[in-house]
Every structure is written in C-alpha cells, then in structure tokens.
Structure 1
Amino acid sequence: MQTAFFIDGYNVFYGLLAGTPYKWLDLPSLLSAINHEQDPRSQVAEIHYFTSPVQPALATRGLQSKQAQDTYVRALKAYGVKVHWGRHRLDHRKAPRFVSRKVQASRQDQVDIWNLEEKETDVRIAIAMYRLAAKQRREDASEGRIQQIVLVSGDTDLAPALEAIREDFPHLRIGIIVPHHNGGERTPPGSLQNNANWMRRYISNEELEAHQFPDRVPTRKKPADKPSYW
C-alpha cells in the first residue's frame, strides 16, 4: 500500500521535539517504521514537510536558530522529503496583562505585544492532500498509485480537509500520527480521529532516539552538519 505523508513541521517541533535532544530527527526513517508497524504491506511513496522560516529577531538563538532550521531542511531534502514553505506574520496587538493564574484576564488592563502567527501552512497542507487525492482518481490503478494519506499533526483546523477527502475519495485510507509524547495529558483530537481509519496517538522518546540522522548528512553541495547545540 503506497503511502503519502503530510507533516506539519511547526506542530511536530513544538508538540514533540522542543526541549528534547532529538531535534535532528530522521523523519523518513521514523515514518517508515510507524507505517510498517501499522500495516506491514505499506510503503512510503512521498513525504511532504510544511514549515515557515524562523524569524531570527524573535528566535531564542537569533540567526543561529535560522541557520539550524536551514541545515535541517537540507538534510530532509537529501533524504527525498519535499519541503513546502509558508510564512510568518508579525503584528502589533494588545492583550490582557498576565498577573497570575488566580487573577482573571481583564480587557481593562491590556499591554502592547508583538503577535507572531504562522500563516498559510494549514491551507497548503489541506490543498496538497486534496490535490493528491484527486490526482489518484484520474490515474489508472497501478502499483505506484497512492492508496493511503497520513497526516502528521494534531491541528484540528485540518479536520475539514480530511472530512472532504474521506467523502470524495472513499477508496483512500486516511491515517493520523499525532506528534505528542507518550504519557502526556493531552486528549487525542476527536475531530481528526473521526475522519481517519487509524490514529497513532503518541511517539515515544525511544523512537525519537532510534531515528536520528547521522551527524553529517551528505547533500549535493556542502554536507548538512547537525547543529552543535542540538
């Protein structure tokens, strides 16, 4: 069963990798292992990774954070991953001042903030999944035809896209891999689960550790070296 993966990079980083020593994640290897575990007949046909450029002015390590992201993307591409870029929008806004958890937010006490939002990623993922599904219906049945779409995200904003794919292309299987740690308190997103044939609710630290890129990944140009602070 040929499988195409669609990865929400922002969701994976902040839901699974931030604060861990496993950021140099070999996604093709990890997804292949999970795919085989779910169905030994399944094979990885395509992997699509969606993200937005780090903003150095707001990143913890400034330009170094942007360079680390660029290096990781080069490593992904070297392993055949197709990378799709969105963008960030930075706006001036006002928000209620945080005093403590015991004090409710008040519209009468607001402060100026910079609001950073990732834009276009959800829409790009939704369109890409739907276009691939439509393409499969036009193609003749063959061994190379995509038979399963797997979304790697816990973002419920993508539920309507999955619902549309399930209704319009019932021959396609839909899987969900939620990029959460095992043992967490998060509840699996029901709106995603309701539109999927199967759901993997967590990824363990043992799996992350077992699926890391080598420290140096050869590319067509200079090698992609694992960032020193990762």
Structure 2
Amino acid sequence: MTRTTVYIDGYNLYYSRLKGTPYKWQDVAALFRDRILLPQDPGAELVAIKFFTAPVKASYARHGEASVRAQTQYHRALLAMSPGLVQIINGFHIFEPASLPSYQADTDPRKSNMSRVWMIEEKQTDVNLALHAYRDAVRGACEQLVICSNDSDLEPALRMIRGDVPGARIGLVMPLRDKAPADGKVPNKRLTALAHWVRHYIRDDELARSQLPQNVPTKKKPASKPSHW
C-alpha cells in the first residue's frame, strides 16, 4: 500500500471547476479516493486530505451572509463525513486600496491612466499548501503526494520535493473540465513537468457521483446543503 495524502487548493478547485455547476456540495474524500486514486493507483492508501481555503467575506460575496453560512455548512459536512481524514487549513483575505491601470481594449496598460480600486487577495493558501506538502514529504508522513491545483506558485515546492525526497511520488490533479472551456484554462506545463503522473481534468460524472448527502449528521445539528448550491 502506498500511503497517500491529497492536498486541495480549495480556491482553485472552486473557481476553475465547481463554480457554475450543481456539484459544489462535493465529498472530496469520495471524489479523490474512489474516482481518481483507485483507478490511477489501486494500491494507494489515503491517509489524509488537506483542504486549503480562506473564510468568505460577506461584503464581497455574491450572496452576502448566505455565502458565509454556505461555506460554514460545507466545512462542517466535510469534517463530519470523514472524521480524522479531512483537515481544513485556513488562510485569510485582505482588502486594500490600490492604483491600477484602467482597461482599454487594444491598448497596453499605462501609468497615465490609473484608477483607484480595491485589491482583494487570498493570503497563505498557496504557501500553506506548499509547506505542508514539503514537510510531509521530508518527514515521511506519506509516500505519495497528490496535489489538486493548477497554480504555478507551487512549482518551487514540487521541485524541492523532487530534489530533496527523490523517493516521494507526486501526482497532479488539474481542477479543469475534460473539454476545453471558453475561458481557455489549460493544464500548467510547469507543474505537469514535475509530477510522476497527471490527471488533466475532473469529469462531470465523477463530481455528480461524489456528492455529500443533503443533510450530514454532526455532533450538533446536521450540516445541510445550501439552497443556492
């Protein structure tokens, strides 16, 4: 058995694959263990799933406070459905005023045409994922690391794992559709070059078959799927 840990960039998974679909109430344990790992490596033993995200800001979310409640319900459901397996590691968002070039079609950005905007950034998600993966590799916490992200910021971490822990196996799962979308998102070649194996997409049928129950029992009241999901 190959002890395997899955590292999920929750932001990347949501915005690149789940947004605009009816599959947001996703059981990540079922998805990665049964739909992805089992066919790829039947000898894999899933020992941990680390889900990296940041709390939603109601003032910026499309559904306001309902978005905050939806995320809370989802995290409660994940932890209750797979106790001891799923971990949620939070970063945070920052909002800062900034000056950026105004957009004009067919024109390069210019300092002479600046606008004041709010800069919204998700902080620590990438660095948390990179550090957890590297630490787990060097400590021998797992033999296979499966990264679910298409973010090139993770390239240095994967390169260091390959160099410092040559016995560790790296799998890469791209949170993309199986057909090229209109937005033109494609697998990041800088990441795929460092993986031992790559899953270039997650299919709709895999997402559909990996949904959490409508109501997930917890030690308190059930965690329920949000109505707008």
TM-score by length of 2: 0.93
1:47 Cα deviation after fit: 0.3
Q: Distance in 2 between matches of 1:102 and 1:186?
A: 22
Residue in 2 that maps onto 1:126: 130
1:186 Cα deviation after fit: 2.8
- 1:95 pairs with one of 76, 100, 107: 100
For structure 2, list consecutive stretches of 5 or more residues without a partner in the other structure. Answer: none
Residue in 2 that maps onto 1:73: 75
Which letter maps to 2:198? M
Which letter maps to 1:51? T
Q: Are 2:7 and 1:2 equivalent residues in the alignment?
A: no
Q: Aligned to 1:116, what secondary structure does the other structure show?
A: strand
Residue in 2 that maps onto 1:139: none
1:204 Cα deviation after fit: 1.0
Q: Are 2:21 and 1:25 equivalent residues in the alignment?
A: no
TM-score by length of 1: 0.92
Which letter maps to 1:92? P
Comparing 2-11 with 187-196, which one deviates more in the overlay?
187-196
Runs of 4+ in 1 over 4 A off after TM superposition: none
Q: Aligned to 2:109, what secondary structure does the other structure show?
A: coil
Aligned residues: 221
- 1:59 pairs with one of 36, 58, 61: 61
Overall identity of the aligned pairs, in %: 40
Do the aligned partners of 1:74 and 1:224 also contact (CA within 8 Å) in 2? Answer: yes
Residue in 1 that maps onto 2:87: 82
Comparing 103-112 with 90-99, which one deviates more in the overlay?
103-112
Residue in 2 that maps onto 1:140: none
Do the aligned partners of 2:148 and 2:175 also contact (CA within 8 Å) in 1? Answer: yes
1:181-213 Cα shifts (integer Å, max 9, x gaps): 111243321111111100101011111111100
Q: Aligned to 1:134, what secondary structure does the other structure show?
A: helix
CA RMSD of superposed structures (Å):
1.2
For structure 1, list consecutive stretches of 5 or more residues without a partner in the other structure. Answer: 137-144
1:165-188 Cα shifts (integer Å, max 9, x gaps): 111111111000010111124332
- 1:171 pairs with one of 157, 167, 170: 167
Do the aligned partners of 1:126 and 1:161 also contact (CA within 8 Å) in 2? Answer: yes
Q: Aligned to 1:146, what secondary structure does the other structure show?
A: coil
Do the aligned partners of 2:176 and 2:186 also contact (CA within 8 Å) in 1? Answer: no
Which letter maps to 1:228? S
Q: Aligned to 1:7, what secondary structure does the other structure show?
A: strand
1:71 Cα deviation after fit: 0.7
Residue in 2 that maps onto 1:202: 201
Residue in 1 that maps onto 2:211: 212
Q: Distance in 2 between matches of 1:63 and 1:22?
A: 21
Q: Aligned to 2:143, what secondary structure does the other structure show?
A: strand
1:105 Cα deviation after fit: 3.1
Q: Distance in 1 between matches of 2:78 and 2:132?
A: 19
1:119-164 Cα shifts (integer Å, max 9, x gaps): 111111111111111221xxxxxxxx62201011001100110111
Q: Distance in 1 between matches of 2:39 and 2:127?
A: 29
Do the aligned partners of 1:36 and 1:43 also contact (CA within 8 Å) in 2? Answer: no
